[in-house]
Amino acid sequence: MNKIIYIGMDVHSSNFTLCSFEPGYGMSEDKIFGQVQFKDD
């Protein structure tokens, strides 16, 4: 079975966030594998 995993980026001038997500398509729960946020100190 093939899976689709979505990768997202939210980019701003001072920070950015990365996230990966696998939808469950109503057969199982949606899964968020990880979310990382970077900020400029």
Q: List, for residues 3-34, the tens digit of each pLDDT value.
A: 888 888 888 877 788 888 888 877 788 787 77
1 inside domain: no
Domains of the chain: total: 1
Query: What are φ and ψ of residue 13, in 5° steps?
Result: -70, -25
Q: Quick one: tokens of 19?
A: 């996230």
Question: Measured between alpha carbons, how far is 3 from 1 in angstroms, rounded to an integer?
Answer: 7
C-alpha distance from residue 33 to each of 10, 12, 15, 17, 41 (Å):
16, 22, 20, 14, 26
* Enclosing domain of residue 23: 6-37
Question: Measured between alpha carbons, how far is 36 from 18 in angstroms, rounded to an integer?
Answer: 5
